[in-house]
């Protein structure tokens, strides 16, 4: 009698464990599967909740905000140089559907550059001082930043944040409605706006992926991929000199980056088209 009773208890406990497990893992699985995408070139699986249109709209809004607060460089030669290199990189991506824009921001203290979804690029005069003697160095910066946009890294980070905030179950309930409308409601409810693209740092994985794909873009655009090593060595020397670089905030260590870039030279050379 006692044995039978114990067996019932074990059965009921395992049943409730199974149910709890399903409640935890099933929504996570469904949410993951329904939002899984594949990054171009690298084939990495990505969890992205935003539709491409959401991403483009938010990118455009973030671009307007950023430029509204910035001082645009009045130097036409600089603007032309950045636009010329940028156009070659843009062509190399094959994303002719993007409305590409290139802007130089007049700020010598900021050693930075970025590209928002849809091909909205900004380069600060602070980083142009490092690249002024060779366009291939500028192409390294542009290739890397543009890769963050074509690989949807911003949308991926926002999706991860939403999952953390809402949890898998909350997201599953939200996604049972129409995806497009739901994501907009979710984004609105959490005050997740365009500025998040600027605030959320990229992950190490994304930084490495942008390095690898950026190298391919610069090679396709006619810039020798070995120039990327020269650029990142310059950046390493600058940061070792005690200058804090926003551009490097979540980037891999200098040694890892240089080793990786060396390893990827062969792959990039397969795309190299001499200018
Ligand atoms: Zn980056």
Catalytic residue among 97, 132, 145, 255: 145
Does residue 32 form part of some domain?
no
Q: How confident is the model at residue 248 (pLDDT cuts 50, 70, 90)?
A: low
Share of the chain above pLDDT 70, in %: 70
Number of domains in the chain: 1
CA 95 to chain CA centroid, Å, is: 16
Does residue 102 form part of some domain?
yes
Report whether 206 contacts 175 (CB < 8 A). Answer: no
Does residue 221 form part of some domain?
yes
For 245, the token pair is 């670089």
Does residue 11 form part of some domain?
no
Q: How confident is the model at residue 128 (pLDDT cuts 50, 70, 90)?
A: very high
Does residue 87 form part of some domain?
yes
Is 145 an active-site residue? yes
Comparing 248 with 112, the larger pLDDT belongs to: 112
Does residue 248 form part of some domain?
yes
Give distance in angstroms: CA of 142 to centre of ligand 1.
10
**Three-class DSSP category at 115:** strand
Does residue 2 form part of some domain?
no
Does residue 105 form part of some domain?
yes
**pTM (two decimals):** 0.81
Q: How confident is the model at residue 17 (pLDDT cuts 50, 70, 90)?
A: very low
Give distance in angstroms: CA of 73 to centre of ligand 1.
23
| Residue 260 belongs to domain spanning | 52-152+200-269
State the number of CA atoms in the 13 A half-sphere of 57 facing the CB.
Answer: 10
Report whether 113 contacts 93 (CB < 8 A). Answer: no
The three-point CA angle 214-53-96 to 5° equals 45
Of 114, 177, 118, residue with least CA distance to 141? 114
Question: To which H or E segment does residue 254 belong?
Answer: helix 254-263
């Amino acid at each position: 009698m006692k044995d039978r009773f114990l067996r019932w208890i074990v059965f009921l406990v395992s049943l409730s464990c199974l149910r709890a497990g399903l409640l935890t893992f099933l929504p996570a699985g469904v949410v993951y599967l329904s939002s899984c995408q594949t990054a171009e070139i690298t084939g990495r699986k990505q969890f992205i909740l935003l539709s491409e249109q959401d991403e483009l709209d938010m990118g455009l809004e973030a671009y307007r905000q950023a430029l509204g607060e910035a001082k645009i460089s009045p130097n036409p030669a600089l603007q032309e140089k950045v636009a010329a290199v940028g156009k070659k990189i843009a062509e190399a991506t094959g994303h002719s559907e993007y409305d590409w824009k290139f802007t130089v921001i007049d700020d010598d203290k900021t050693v930075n550059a970025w590209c928002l979804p849809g091909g909205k690029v900004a380069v600060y005069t602070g980083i142009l001082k490092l690249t002024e003697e060779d366009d291939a160095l500028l192409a390294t910066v542009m290739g890397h930043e543009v890769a963050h946009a074509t690989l949807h890294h911003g949308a991926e980070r926002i999706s991860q944040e939403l999952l953390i905030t809402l949890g898998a179950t909350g997201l599953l309930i939200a996604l049972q409605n129409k995806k497009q409308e739901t994501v907009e409601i979710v984004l609105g409810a959490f005050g997740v706006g365009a500025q998040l693209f600027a605030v959320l740092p990229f992950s190490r994985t994304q930084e490495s992926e942008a390095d690898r794909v950026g190298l391919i873009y610069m090679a396709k655009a006619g810039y020798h991929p070995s120039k990327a090593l020269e650029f990142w060595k310059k950046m390493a020397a600058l940061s070792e000199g005690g200058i804090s670089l926003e551009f490097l905030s979540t980037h891999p260590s200098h040694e890892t980056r240089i080793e990786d870039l060396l390893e990827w030279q062969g792959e990039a050379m397969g795309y190299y088209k001499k200018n």
